[in-house]
Amino acid sequence: MREPVIRGAGLVTSLAYAAVVAWLYATQPQTVAQVTGGFASIVGAYTVDPQAMADGLTFFRRDQFVEARAALSRADPAERDPRAQFYIAYAYYRQGWGRLYNDDALFAKGLSAIDKAIAAAPGGRLVVEDPALQMHSADELRAELQRGITREWSDFNPMRVFRARK
Amino acid sequence: MSATREAIVLPLVFLTVTLLAGARLGAGVALVPPSLVSLVTGTMLVGALVRSGALAPDRLLHGSRSILANANGAVVLATLFAAAAQVLGMLTPRSGLPRFFVEVFLFVLFLNTLVARPDRVRLLRSLAVILGSALVLKFVVLASLSDPSGGRTARVLVALFDAATFGTIAQEPQSPGAGYLAFFAIALFLTGAAALPAEPSSREAGLSTIPPR
């Protein structure tokens, strides 16, 4: 009677451990927070820190983008919340935007963040209804960031200096 | 073999080896799946374990065993294969001529082992020597040739060596913890390999077949 119990428990444990190993290989988490957050989100128990999120949005609206990203990263340590990642990407966009040229490094980080937001959003669709923003969907923001780091002839158009930051 | 060892200990050991051996320490931790060559040499390693009697597959999978016991056996075999492939992938240098030569060396060595068919004890000793040598080669010899943090003389020697070999020997610098992680993974893998259900030795088999008087 005892042997089947051991075998059954062993099988369940082994399969669960194998699933964890496969998940780690697939998602490549870099921090303990990402690991724990990933497991929490699998069981639907992951939540962002509301206070840090509010701080991040306040900083964002004051154009304090570095502070905004710090607070939003604190709110979403596992990088699993699409809204927080959207605002992080938007902060990279606004900080990196330039009338003459964009900061490619910041735009690339923004692209990475918006990809995380899209990956975390249900069905990959994310729309943020915020009147302070001019791009509300993750697709628009992603395309804008992608355009910003792509070299093309229109980059040399002198009329570019009249364009506005979104 | 006890049910605990087969159902719990061996799968957990081999899965841990799979996890540790796939980790590449750097600025972050990257988990790298095994290369195609590692899968081939891993298969040969498992084949060598079977041919030497260090692993008796019929003690893990057999029609006379229950479904649950066969499922445990299948998990042991699958995790053994994954761990073997990952350990060999971990011990293979990442680039250049060392990678080519180590891959060829491991392939020929396991082919030779398959043909020579040593007994269990000799195979396990041979495996320890192969894995230990590869560990020293990658994490001691090649790592010291690619170490950017040495003194001025060491850096000059490394630069001269790199120039003389057209950059084909030097590897990416390793994290200091990588060698320790590899050592632990190898030790765990060898422990697991030694704990696999083996074929009964000929003496044991002979004794068991003596008819009672």
- B75-111 residue pLDDT tens: 999 999 999 999 999 999 888 888 888 999 999 999 9
Name the β-bridge partners of B29: B25
* Helical axes A82-96 vs A50-61, angle rounded to 10°: 20
The pLDDT assigned to B148 comes to: 65
Q: Mean pLDDT, chain A, as a whole number?
A: 89
pLDDT tens digits, A101-114: 889 999 999 999 99
**pTM, whole model, 2 decimals?**
0.75
Contact B4 A18 (CB under 8 A): no
Contact B72 A17 (CB under 8 A): no
Res. A135: pLDDT tops 80: yes
The pLDDT assigned to B206 comes to: 56
The DSSP element (H or E) to which A71 belongs, if any, is helix A65-75
The pLDDT assigned to B150 comes to: 65
Q: Counting beta carbons within 10 angstroms of the beta carbon of residue B175, is it exposed (0 to 12), middle (13 to 18) or buried (19 or more)?
A: middle
Query: What value of ipTM does the predicted structure carry?
Result: 0.82
The residue among B5, B6, B15, B90 with the most chain A CBs within 10 A of its CB, best to mutate, is: B15
**Region of B148 on the Ramachandran plot (φ > 0 left; ψ -120 to 50 alpha; else beta):** alpha
Res. B204: pLDDT tops 70: no
The DSSP element (H or E) to which A46 belongs, if any, is none
If you average pLDDT over residues A54-77, what whole number do you get? Answer: 93
| Residue from the list B4, B15, B18 with its beta carbon closest to the beta carbon of A6 | B4
Q: Mean pLDDT, chain B, as a whole number?
A: 86
Q: How far apart are the first and last CA of chain A?
A: 69
Residues 6+ apart with CB under 8 A from A135: A90, A141, A144, A166
The pLDDT assigned to A101 comes to: 83
Contact B68 A17 (CB under 8 A): no
Q: Which residues in B lie closer than 8 A to residue A9 (C-beta atoms)? A: 7-8
Contact B7 A10 (CB under 8 A): yes
Helix (H, G, I), strand (E, B) or coil at B72: helix
